[in-house]
Amino acid sequence: MKRGTLLLLWSLTLLWSFHSGRLDLLLRGVFHGLVGGTGLILLMLGVALLLKREKQNERWRLPWLLSGVMAALVLILPPSPSFSDLASNRPQGLPDPPELAFVLPPEQRSLTEWVRLLRSQPDPDLVAGNPVRISGFVWRQPEGPPLIARLTVRCCLADATPAGLAVEWPESFTPKTNQWLAIEGTMSVQTRSERRLPVVIPQNITLIARPERPLEP
């Protein structure tokens, strides 16, 4: 009886996370179906145990109670990760792209596609003057101005990898950590810390809501 109730609670947690879109903050979209399927399996197992009605005098054990409390907290408290903090605690080596998108016109490249292109291109001057249309969150840095960034994942936040671009922020605009922005501008090259680096020169900065699927493959 107790185990059946616990399985139903966890099945509700997984199915609600699948239906509500919470998984978009934690897991790559290709794995969402796996979570939903697991929720259905737990639902069937829980119903089967409740119908069986064995061990009516079975007591709640501490691990079961803790598991139930955890499931309830997941339902009550939606995830709200700090992407800037996650990015600061992850290495910056991007995974291989799912497909080559470097042939796209510059204004159609996403932020991560720009970062992959620039890392594969030894001479940043070749992209100077290219139009840029990107979106991402503000990633604070221990030293220097914040970057505009995205998190890429193979599976979930546990293997998240940051991709960031330097921005020449206008004096009239103060970027706030974790703020989501859409930037239109051009790519330039500047010397920073004795290195020539690609830098986005914004012509228009728009505050946007966090995308429904903020994690990129």
Q: What is the pLDDT of residues 10-36, one digit of tens each?
A: 888 888 888 776 776 677 677 778 888
Q: Are residue 94 and residue 194 in the same domain, yes or no?
A: yes
Q: What is the pLDDT averaged over residues 102-126? A: 85
Q: What is the pLDDT of residues 168-182, one digit of tens each?
A: 999 999 999 999 999
User: Where is the domain boundary, 80, 102, 133?
Assistant: 80
DSSP 3-state assignment of 4?
Answer: helix
Q: What is the pLDDT averaged over residues 116-140? A: 90
The answer, yes or no, to whether residue 79 has pLDDT greater than 80, is no
User: Where is the domain boundary, 57, 80, 103?
Assistant: 80
The answer, yes or no, to whether residue 47 has pLDDT greater than 80, is yes
Q: Are residue 49 and residue 91 in the same domain, yes or no?
A: no
Question: What pLDDT sits at residue 104?
Answer: 79
The answer, yes or no, to whether residue 109 has pLDDT greater than 50, is yes
Tell me how far apart the alpha carbons of residues 152 and 112 are, in angstroms, rounded to a whole number. Answer: 8
Cβ pair 147, 167 in contact under 8 A: yes
Task: Give backbone dihedrals phi and psi of 189, rounded to 5 degrees, phi first.
Answer: -130, 130
pLDDT mean across residues, the chain: 83
The answer, yes or no, to whether residue 64 has pLDDT greater than 80, is no
The answer, yes or no, to whether residue 193 has pLDDT greater than 80, is no
Q: What is the pLDDT averaged over residues 54-76? A: 72
Question: 99 or 186: which carries more pLDDT confidence?
Answer: 186
Residue 131's domain spans which residues? 84-216
Q: What is the pLDDT averaged over residues 119-138? A: 91
Cβ pair 26, 160 in contact under 8 A: no
The enclosing domain of 134 has a CATH number of: 2.40.50
The answer, yes or no, to whether residue 148 has pLDDT greater than 50, is yes
| Residue 105: C-alpha distances to residues 91, 102, 127, 201, 206 (Å) | 28, 8, 12, 18, 22
Helix ranges restricted to H, 21-101: 32-52, 62-76, 83-88
Question: What pLDDT sits at residue 98?
Answer: 46
Q: Are residue 111 and residue 171 in the same domain, yes or no?
A: yes
Tell me how far apart the alpha carbons of residues 27 and 156 are, in angstroms, rounded to a whole number. Answer: 4
Tokens of 55: 């061990």
Tell me how far apart the alpha carbons of residues 103 and 116 are, in angstroms, rounded to a whole number. Answer: 12
Q: What is the pLDDT averaged over residues 137-148? A: 92
The answer, yes or no, to whether residue 102 has pLDDT greater than 70, is no
Q: Are residue 185 and residue 122 in the same domain, yes or no?
A: yes
Task: Give backbone dihedrals phi and psi of 132, rounded to 5 degrees, phi first.
Answer: -130, 130
